[in-house]
């Protein structure tokens, strides 16, 4: 029996369609959700991310505004900008695109964003609300992972979930969300003893460690659901040949483009052993922007007590 592919593009379209209906209803009542994106400098990847987020806003009817301070901006200037956005009633979500220039204290800037407008879900208040199961905004990628499981009718309650990675952005929040859904959760990291043996116990395996094809067949329980959060860009031909041996279409793609995306899970091992899995690309990634749109609408509702 072949592994089931959990198609993030299809799930993204479902969520965006639902958000569009919500935005239309809110707008009809005189409340159009608004998102401000702050993009500092000319980082090409950041420009693409912000452009995609603006496009999604247009698609669902959310008001969006992109603010582009110069690359020489200071921490104080950024703090003043965030304070202005915090005060604006037409802005429900504030997105500070990372990375920021080296002279800017990114931690101070992110902390200055009002928790009520923290659509990234990075603020300590947002994380605290998640820990205590209070209403609040949840980081987009972890929220998207739960949506993938639920919308794919994959049971969570009573299952053993293993999360590889302990970042504040993915690892810790997704572990808490899984716990809230009554999974038994183990968090692993670079210092975990006999990591493959622990991962192999997982009914649901989340890989968010940021190392290309790090999770191999020794980590995967046959039939497990594997959620691959990693997005690693390969440019080394020998590494591509090692990871994608036996997949000629991928090697041809690399020869054509000179680059190739791979997740944190070895693609061939995942396909051969998993019961269901998220591909890279086209798995977890599309859900992140969809959940940002959902968070913006949620922020608009929470701010106004709706």
Both 107 and 189 in one domain: the answer is no
Please tell me the predicted confidence (pLDDT) of residue 306: 67
Please tell me the predicted confidence (pLDDT) of residue 247: 84
Both 40 and 174 in one domain: the answer is no
With b for 16 or more beta-carbon neighbours within 10 A and e for fewer, the 159-176 pattern comes to bbbbbbbbbebbbbbbbb
Report yes or no: 220 and 226 within 8 Å, Cβ to Cβ. Answer: yes
Q: Domain holding 47: CATH number?
A: 3.40.50.10860
38 in a domain, yes or no? yes
Report yes or no: 122 and 169 within 8 Å, Cβ to Cβ. Answer: yes
Both 47 and 93 in one domain: the answer is yes
Phi-psi bin for 134: left (phi > 0), alpha (psi -120 to 50), beta?
Answer: beta
Question: How many angstroms separate the CA atoms of 100 and 116, rounded?
Answer: 22
C-alpha distances in Å from residue 56, one per residue of 138, 268, 280, 294: 19, 32, 21, 11
Residue 70 backbone dihedrals phi, psi, to 5 degrees: -70, 160
Both 150 and 272 in one domain: the answer is yes
Q: Domain holding 230: CATH number?
A: 3.40.50.720
Q: Reduce the secondary structure of the chain to three states and give it as a string.
A: CCCEECCHHHHHHHHHHHHHHHHHHHHHCCCCCEEEEECCCCCHHHHHHHHHHHHHHHHHCCEEEEECCCCCCCHHHHHHHHHHHHHCCCCCEEEECCCCCCCCCHHHHHHHCCHHHCCCCCCHHHHHHHHCCCCCCCCHHHHHHHHHHHHCCCCCCCCEEEEECCCCCCHHHHHHHHHHCCCEEEEECCCCCCHHHHHCCCCEEEECCCCCCCECHHHCCCCCEEEECCCEEECCHHHHHHHCCCCHHHHHHHHHHCCEEECCECHHHHHHHCCEECCCCCCCHHHHHHHHHHHHHHHHHHHCCC
Both 79 and 148 in one domain: the answer is no
126 in a domain, yes or no? no
Both 102 and 175 in one domain: the answer is no
Beta bridge partners of 66: 37
Both 239 and 201 in one domain: the answer is yes
Active site residues: 53, 97, 120
Would strands 204-207 and 225-228 be described as parallel, antiparallel, or unpaired?
A: parallel
263 in a domain, yes or no? yes
Please tell me the predicted confidence (pLDDT) of residue 1: 62
Both 97 and 173 in one domain: the answer is no
Note down the domain range covering 75. Answer: 30-114
Low-confidence ranges of the chain (pLDDT < 50): none
300 in a domain, yes or no? no
Both 206 and 149 in one domain: the answer is yes
Q: How does pLDDT run across 112-133, given as a tens digit for each residue?
A: 999 999 999 999 999 999 999 9
91 in a domain, yes or no? yes
Question: How many angstroms separate the CA atoms of 120 and 73, rounded?
Answer: 22
Beta bridge partners of 34: 63
pTM above 0.85, yes or no: yes
Domain total in the chain: 2
């Amino acid at each position: 029996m072949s592994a089931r592919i959990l198609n993030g593009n299809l799930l993204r379209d479902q969520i965006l369609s639902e958000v569009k209906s919500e935005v239309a209803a809110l707008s009809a009542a005189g409340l159009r959700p608004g998102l401000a994106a702050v993009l500092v400098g000319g980082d090409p990847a950041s420009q693409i991310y912000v452009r995609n987020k603006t496009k999604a806003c247009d698609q669902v009817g959310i008001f969006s505004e992109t603010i582009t301070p110069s690359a020489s901006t200071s921490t104080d200037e950024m703090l003043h900008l965030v304070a202005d956005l915090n005060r604006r009633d037409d802005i429900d979500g504030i997105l500070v695109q990372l990375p920021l220039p080296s002279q800017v204290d990114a931690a101070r800037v992110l902390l200055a964003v009002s928790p009520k407008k923290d659509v990234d879900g990075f603020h300590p208040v947002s994380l605290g609300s998640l820990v205590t199961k209070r209403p609040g905004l949840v980081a987009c990628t972890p929220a998207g992972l739960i949506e993938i499981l639920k919308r794919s009718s994959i049971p969570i309650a009573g299952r053993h979930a293993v999360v590889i990675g302990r970042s504040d952005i993915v690892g810790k929040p997704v572990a808490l969300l899984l716990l809230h859904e009554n999974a038994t959760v183990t968090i692993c990291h670079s210092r975990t003893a006999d990591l493959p043996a622990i991962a192999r116990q997982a009914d649901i395996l989340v890989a968010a460690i940021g190392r290309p094809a790090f999770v191999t067949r020794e980590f995967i329980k046959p039939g497990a659901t594997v959620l691959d959060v990693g997005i690693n860009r390969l440019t080394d031909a020998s590494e591509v040949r090692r990871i994608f041996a036996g997949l000629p279409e991928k090697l041809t793609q690399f020869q054509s483009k000179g680059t190739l995306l791979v997740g944190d899970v070895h693609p061939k091992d995942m396909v051969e052993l998993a019961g269901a899995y998220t591909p890279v690309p086209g798995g977890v990634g599309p859900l992140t922007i969809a959940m940002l749109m959902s968070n913006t609408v949620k922020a608009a509702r929470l701010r106004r007590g709706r």
